[in-house]
Amino acid sequence: MAKRRKIKKVKTKRNRRSIFDIIKDSLRYSRSLYIIMAIVITVLIAGVLGVIYIRDNYTIKNIYVSGNTHYTNEEIIDMVMTDKMCDNSIYLSLKYRNKSIEGVPFIEKMSVEIVSPETVRINVYEKAVAGYISYLGRYMYFDRDGIVVESSLEASSNVPEVLGLSFNYVIIHEKLPVEKQEVFEEILDITQLLSKYNLHANKIFFDSEYNVYLYFDGIEVSIGTKDYIDEKIIQLQYILPNLEGKSGILEMKDFNEDTKNVTFEEKKQ
């Protein structure tokens, strides 16, 4: 008769946690959660306070513009302050940090300088324009080397129109193809002298012999050659105010340091 084997029942011991352990772990978890929440709330409060402080103490109240002649201060400011956030000096300093504003007609670049939390300065660096010519319905502006630096549909009141130059074509960023290339330096010298003595010629005309004629509204000034050009323009600052409202020809081509010959022939209205 087969013997029955006794099967021993092995009881497995279950890990039972006490209620105390569960409460202890729950409190530990809750404490960590509270700490995290407190840190987050503290950071948020600090951030809000920081934003309020920056808003109240870094709002731009004074804007200075320097170096601009083709555009007014208001126009330059509008080019820089492009959105509402630009009223804040910190935002503005980050927006234009190591970055200049380019692509504006007649302007090489513009930079923004933060002077104080409430004050900024916009520095404008304009292209060195000597004059402009009219070509195919556009105004082509050139520098002292005769290189066309800008093309515009508008004529500038700050730069004289140059007439009498002969050329067959105009290419932007290239020299105007005129016979006498040194005429461009002469043009810039004239415009700088006029600016120095606060004179604003509407036009500069060169005849076939490159004699110079300046036009101030109704007054035509025959300058002649570039000889004694400085002395002639110095005299102009004293003569032109006396001719205001008149129309005629002011003859200065024979003016020199000896004769100082100047005549005026008034045109009858």
Q: What is the pLDDT of residues 25-44, one digit of tens each?
A: 665 666 677 777 778 888 88
Q: What is the pLDDT of residues 200-259, one digit of tens each?
A: 899 999 998 999 999 998 899 999 988 888 999 999 999 999 998 889 999 998 888 777
CATH number at 99 reads 3.10.20
Domain termination residue (choose one: 126, 153, 169): 126
Token pair of 13 as six digits: 């011991």
Output the pLDDT for position 1: 47
What lies within 8 Å, CB to CB, of 141 at 6+ separation is 106, 127, 129, 131, 132, 148, 149, 150, 151, 152, 156, 159
Domain that holds residue 216: 129-266
CB 162 within 8 Å of CB 204: yes
**Range from 3-7, 18-22, 67-71 carrying the lowest mean pLDDT:** 3-7
Tell me: do 195 and 87 sit in the same domain: no
User: H-type helices in the chain, by residue range?
Assistant: 19-57, 73-80, 89-95, 183-196, 229-239
Highest mean pLDDT: which range of 12-16, 38-42, 138-142, 261-265 = 138-142
Tell me: do 204 and 262 sit in the same domain: yes
Output the pLDDT for position 40: 80
CB 144 within 8 Å of CB 185: yes
CATH number at 184 reads 3.40.50.10960
Q: How confident is the model at residue 100 (pLDDT cuts 50, 70, 90)?
A: confident
Tell me: do 257 and 133 sit in the same domain: yes
Q: Look at residue 49 and tell me if it is in a domain.
A: no
* Count of structural domains within the chain: 2
Tell me: do 116 and 210 sit in the same domain: no
pTM score above 0.75 = no
Q: Look at residue 29 and tell me if it is in a domain.
A: no
Domain termination residue (choose one: 126, 143, 163): 126
Q: Look at residue 47 and tell me if it is in a domain.
A: no
Q: Look at residue 171 and tell me if it is in a domain.
A: yes
